[in-house]
Amino acid sequence: MDAITIAPATPHDIAVLDAALRQLAADLGDPYRADAAALAAALCGPAACCFALLATHDARPVAAVLAAPVFSTRYGGAGLFVSDLWVAKPMRGLGLARRILAATLNEGARRGCGRFLKLTVDHDNPDARAAYDRLGFAASAHETNMVLIGAALETLKGTR
């Protein structure tokens, strides 16, 4: 594990990051609706809204994280929402999720948003839930994740 490097993704890493996040979606049985261009715009464009870290071993990706700053009055400042976290199957159980989340939190602190770390775990992913529990994450009894997409999103956009 010592030969693993974790660094912020650059424009040159978009294809590798895209492949890692596609693998995450496949592992979860989720759709993957982004593409490399959208990922590049979100990470490197003039209105960049998030950042990514890549963990590599022998120049191959072994983990990736995608995080975005979020401000919360409840938590007293700016923190991060981790929307995607992937660890390659052969690397699971070796502490790599802990390492990349620590690096994410440190990168967030460097960017002025290190007050808290928030993420969502799928109900049908008990291994991930157990890993987050071991790290000290706690389920929030006072929040429910809700998402607005598709036609309902477009309807709301059109509200004046």
Map out the domains of the chain with their CATH numbers.
Answer: 5-157 (3.40.630.30)
What digits encode the pLDDT tens for the residues 58-78? 989 999 999 999 999 999 999
Neighbours of 25 (CB within 10 A): 15
Q: What is the pLDDT at residue 1? A: 56
d(C-alpha 5, C-alpha 66), whole Å: 16
pLDDT (tens digit per residue) in 115-152: 999 999 988 889 899 999 999 999 988 888 899 999 99
> Does position 20 have pLDDT exceeding 90, yes or no?
yes
Arithmetic mean of pLDDT over the chain: 94
Among 110, 85, 113, 109, CA closest to 98:
85
- 102 pLDDT above the threshold of 70: yes
Only one residue has tokens 């999720």, namely 97
Neighbours of 17 (CB within 10 A): 24
Query: pLDDT tens for residues 80-100?
Result: 999 999 999 999 999 999 999
Distances (CA, A) of 24 to 30, 77, 126: 8, 30, 15
Predicted pLDDT at 144 = 86
Higher pLDDT, 8 or 2: 8
Q: What is the structure's pLDDT at 44?
A: 96
- Mean pLDDT over 7-27 rounds to 96
DSSP strands (E only) in the chain: 5-8, 51-57, 60-72, 77-87, 117-119
Instruction: Note the pLDDT tens digit of each residue in 33-66.
Output: 999 999 999 999 999 999 999 999 998 999 999 9
The answer to pTM > 0.85 is: yes
